[in-house]
């Protein structure tokens, strides 16, 4: 019964959780109009967004650290969205005046390296914090490690899950084991059977903001970048993946939605699919279809070779700003709570229950809470599994132009599937246009 109660609690919380990269509203914490600093020696200020996701995680960390320092207070200054934090750093860096920044900021992983390079005085290294960095997946910390220095402490876990409707698989003669450790060609064959017998796609994705190529490529340990330059047309793995995506769509195995709303509201919530693959933040969207509770399980991704595939999509970390004068307190707070210290299990247990934030700290993911079965996912201990899978995500080269690359690759796929260009031509166009964006930014 304890397992069931906790599982239902997590489902209820996650059902209102939004993407880690966006969100709004607040706790008792202040709005952006209030001063970003506090004179109290036991108070730290932090910019964060998303009252149903990131902010509950910070509140859990505050409560955990108060066990060590009862006088401690974390003043969360809520931002409407993640770009508000980026704008604050840009404004401070452009003016050379960092005095309006808080002690700590929550920052998106894919953007942080660009901002540290552009505004190095906006951030402080935390390399000497009491943190066992080996307790995190190498891919997660690769974003916040710049020139060999650690700048950020990971918060949320963007590890990719592949969730399947096991009842529909069973109807077609398959189990979750049959879709674990398989090739994309085998996945295609299974998907064709599922569509023929159930009328449901085995996979869908937003065809406009298409993250599928990136995730599939990362699972192969290959990047879209090579030595800082686009690596597309000469990237044999990329070509094979694009051809695979096109074939999956032609075979009615993959549905490429028109936009994000079509992807989430129509294909997932609209119950068009028997499989969902994305960062684990997609879980609350899956859970919106209450009548499918108990019918889902998760596993790893297919790959071209048939080995189990691991990738990550999204996530954020916490950074100490150049304006922080209580650096020792900030480092100790982050190490104790999010950094694998004594308060990490309490922090992440409550962050999961109250906001759906899943840790990337491997030891925190071994707790009893993480190992509880989740009713919606057939009592599978999905949170412990997600943390374990995250430890296997390969590190691949990243770029400040990640999202520009995504846009161009998505357009290339649309051109191919519309019959407007073959794969080689479409990818040549994508690489050329991406290079134009990069050159334009350098001017």
pLDDT category, 12, cuts 50, 70, 90?
A: very low
pLDDT category, 443, cuts 50, 70, 90?
A: confident
Asked whether the predicted pLDDT for residue 338 surpasses 80, the reply is: yes
Domain 2-158+313-390 is of which CATH architecture?
A: 3-Layer(aba) Sandwich (3.40)
Cβ proximity of 357 and 54 under 8 Å: yes
pLDDT digits (tens, 9 = 90+) for 238-283: 999 999 999 999 999 999 999 999 999 999 999 999 999 999 999 9
pLDDT digits (tens, 9 = 90+) for 88-116: 999 999 999 999 999 999 999 988 999 99
pLDDT digits (tens, 9 = 90+) for 40-71: 899 999 999 999 899 999 999 999 999 999 99
Instruction: Give me the pLDDT at residue 29, please.
Output: 46
pLDDT category, 28, cuts 50, 70, 90?
A: very low
Asked whether the predicted pLDDT for residue 1 surpasses 60, the reply is: no
pLDDT digits (tens, 9 = 90+) for 190-206: 999 999 999 999 999 99
pLDDT digits (tens, 9 = 90+) for 199-234: 999 999 999 999 999 999 999 999 999 999 999 999
Asked whether the predicted pLDDT for residue 139 surpasses 50, the reply is: yes
Higher pLDDT, 274 or 5: 274
Q: Class of 160-311+401-442 per CATH?
A: alpha beta
What does the radius of gyration of the chain's CA atoms come to, in whole angstroms? Answer: 22
**What pTM was estimated for this model as a whole?**
0.88
Question: Coil, helix or strand for 79?
Answer: strand
pLDDT digits (tens, 9 = 90+) for 339-375: 999 999 999 999 999 989 999 999 999 999 999 999 9
Question: Coil, helix or strand for 99?
Answer: coil
List the single range of 25-29, 50-54, 183-187, 380-384 with lowest mean pLDDT.
Answer: 25-29
Cβ proximity of 114 and 105 under 8 Å: no
Instruction: Give me the pLDDT at residue 402, please.
Output: 94
Tally DSSP H helices, then E strands, for the chain. Answer: 16, 14
Instruction: Give me the pLDDT at residue 314, please.
Output: 87
Instruction: Give me the pLDDT at residue 39, please.
Output: 84
Q: Is 2-158+313-390's fold the same as 160-311+401-442's?
A: yes
Asked whether the predicted pLDDT for residue 10 surpasses 50, the reply is: no
Cβ proximity of 49 and 23 under 8 Å: yes
List the single range of 31-45, 106-120, 372-386, 397-411 with lowest mean pLDDT.
Answer: 31-45
Cβ proximity of 78 and 32 under 8 Å: yes
Cβ proximity of 374 and 293 under 8 Å: no
> Which uninterrupted H or E stretch holds 140?
helix 138-144
Backbone angles phi, psi at 276, to 5 degrees: -135, 125
**Residue 422 CA neighbour count, 13 Å, CB half:** 1
> Can you read off the two tokens belonging to residue 269?
């919530």
Instruction: Give me the pLDDT at residue 159, please.
Output: 96
Sheet holding 316-320, edge to edge: 73-79, 43-49, 104-108, 316-320, 152-154
Asked whether the predicted pLDDT for residue 332 surpasses 50, the reply is: yes
CA dihedral 320, 326, 331, 332 (to 10 degrees): -150
CB contact set of 121 (below 8 Å; sequence gap of 6+)? 93, 96, 98, 322
Instruction: Give me the pLDDT at residue 7, please.
Output: 40
Instruction: Give me the pLDDT at residue 35, please.
Output: 55
Where are the domains positioned within the chain? 2-158+313-390, 160-311+401-442
DSSP 356-396: -----BTTGGGSTTTTS-BGGGTTB-HHHHHHHHHTTPPP-
> Which uninterrupted H or E stretch holds 206?
strand 203-206
Cβ proximity of 176 and 164 under 8 Å: yes
Closest CA to 362 of 151, 52, 141: 141
CB contact set of 132 (below 8 Å; sequence gap of 6+)? 339, 340
Instruction: Give me the pLDDT at residue 38, please.
Output: 83
Strand pairing class (104-108; 73-79) = unpaired
Higher pLDDT, 255 or 442: 255
Angstrom distance (rounded) from CA 106 to CA 189: 43
pLDDT digits (tens, 9 = 90+) for 290-331: 999 999 999 999 999 999 999 999 889 999 999 999 999 999
Asked whether the predicted pLDDT for residue 173 surpasses 70, the reply is: yes
Asked whether the predicted pLDDT for residue 16 surpasses 60, the reply is: no
List the single range of 26-35, 265-274, 421-430 with lowest mean pLDDT.
Answer: 26-35
Share of the chain above pLDDT 90, in %: 88
- On average, the pLDDT of the chain sits at 92
Angstrom distance (rounded) from CA 143 to CA 149: 11
Question: Coil, helix or strand for 319?
Answer: strand
């Amino acid at each position: 019964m304890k397992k069931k109660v906790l599982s239902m609690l997590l489902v209820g919380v996650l059902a209102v959780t939004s993407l880690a990269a966006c969100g709004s509203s607040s706790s008792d914490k202040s709005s952006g109009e209030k001063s970003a600093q506090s004179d109290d020696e036991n108070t730290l200020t932090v910019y964060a967004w998303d009252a149903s996701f990131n902010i509950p995680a910070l509140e859990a960390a505050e409560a955990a650290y108060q066990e060590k320092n009862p006088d401690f207070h974390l003043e969360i200054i809520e931002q409407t969205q993640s770009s508000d934090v980026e704008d604050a750093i840009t404004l401070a860096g452009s003016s050379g005046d960092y005095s309006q920044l808080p002690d700590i900021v929550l920052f998106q992983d894919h953007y942080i390296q660009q901002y540290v390079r552009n505004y190095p005085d906006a951030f402080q290294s935390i390399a000497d914090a009491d943190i066992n960095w080996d307790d995190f997946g190498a891919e997660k910390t690769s974003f916040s490690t710049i020139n060999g220095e650690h700048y950020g402490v990971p918060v949320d876990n963007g590890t990719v899950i592949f969730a399947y409707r096991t009842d529909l698989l069973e109807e077609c003669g398959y189990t979750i084991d049959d879709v674990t450790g398989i090739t994309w060609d085998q996945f295609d064959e299974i998907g064709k059977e599922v569509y023929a017998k159930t009328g449901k796609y085995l996979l869908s994705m937003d065809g406009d903001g298409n993250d599928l190529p990136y995730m599939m490529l990362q699972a192969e340990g290959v990047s879209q970048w090579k030595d800082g330059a686009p690596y597309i047309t000469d990237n044999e793995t990329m070509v094979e993946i694009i051809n695979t995506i096109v074939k999956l769509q032609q075979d009615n195995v993959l549905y490429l939605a028109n936009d994000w709303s079509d992807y989430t509201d129509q294909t997932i919530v609209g119950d068009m699919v028997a499989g969902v693959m994305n960062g684990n933040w997609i879980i609350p969207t899956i859970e919106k279809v209450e009548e499918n509770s108990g019918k889902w399980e998760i596993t790893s991704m297919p790959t071209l070779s048939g080995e189990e595939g691991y990738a990550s999509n999204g996530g954020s970390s916490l950074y100490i700003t150049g304006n922080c004068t209580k650096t020792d307190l900030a480092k100790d707070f982050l190490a104790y709570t999010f950094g694998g210290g004594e308060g990490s299990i309490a922090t992440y247990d409550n962050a999961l229950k109250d906001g759906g934030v899943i840790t990337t700290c491997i030891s925190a993911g071994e707790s009893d809470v993480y190992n509880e079965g989740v009713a919606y996912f057939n009592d599978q201990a999905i949170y412990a599994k997600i943390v374990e899978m995250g430890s296997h995500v390969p590190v691949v080269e990243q770029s400040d132009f990640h999202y520009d690359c995504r846009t161009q690759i998505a357009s290339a796929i649309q051109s191919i599937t519309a019959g407007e260009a073959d794969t080689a031509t479409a990818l040549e166009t994508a690489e050329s246009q991406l290079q134009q964006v990069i050159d334009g930014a350098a001017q």
